[in-house]
Amino acid sequence: MILSFRNISAVCGVFLLVSVSSFHNSAIANINNQSQLIAQQSKTQPHPVFKSILPKLKQKTQIKILLPKFIPESDGENPIYANIETATQKNYEILLAFSPDCYGASACRLGVVTAEAVTRKTPGLTGKRVSLAKGFTGYFVDFTCGAGCSDATLTWRQQGVQYVIGLKAGDRTSLIKMANSAINP
């Protein structure tokens, strides 16, 4: 009887050690999963320049809001500001500028981010076709210069909404990077 009690005690001891070890690994796995979840959530956040206008934008529009996580010229040397130019249920237009009180003037303007629900009246897409994230096709239109330079634009459609990203005298590579950062959550 004593021998069988020792065997039972040994089995219980081994079981206890395995349980504690599994609990420790499970706790580490939960911590790692939470860290990954936090990292994924931070990836889905748009560029910080949009933080102040996002609540108003969400309140005004019913279309899916896609904002880039990457904006060229936002290295911290020159602050960038986002101002809502228009926001309705079916569209929004955001001006990106180097001044908080820029109203599209050439000297302070960086570009635009717009979205509009596609209707029968929406013009067709034009420009040079480019491949975007998640299999979307974008259409790049280069800038022109006269007395000043216009925006180079990249337009694509996603779930019934036409999105446009524009940069004053922008380059195709920067626009593609901006668009992809908006498309990829």
Give me the tens of pLDDT residue by residue for the chain, a chain 185 residues long.
444 545 544 444 444 444 444 434 433 334 344 434 333 334 467 889 999 999 999 999 999 999 999 999 777 777 899 999 999 999 999 999 998 888 767 788 999 999 999 999 998 899 999 999 999 999 999 999 988 889 999 999 999 999 999 999 999 999 999 999 999 86
CA 98 distance to own-chain centroid:
21
45-57: pLDDT as tens digits: 788 999 999 999 9
Radius of gyration of the chain (CA): 26
Quick one: which of 112, 116, 114 has its CA closest to 62?
A: 116
Q: What are phi and psi of 106, to 5 degrees?
A: -60, -35
CB proximity list for 27: less than 8 A, separation 6 or greater: none
Are 154 and 167 spatial neighbours (Cβ–Cβ below 8 Å)?
no
Q: For residue 73, how far is the Cα from the chain centroid?
A: 17
Residues 90-127 as b or e (16 or more Cβ within 10 Å = b): ebbbbbbbebeebeeeeebbbbbbbbbbeeeeeeeeee
pTM of the entire structure?
0.74
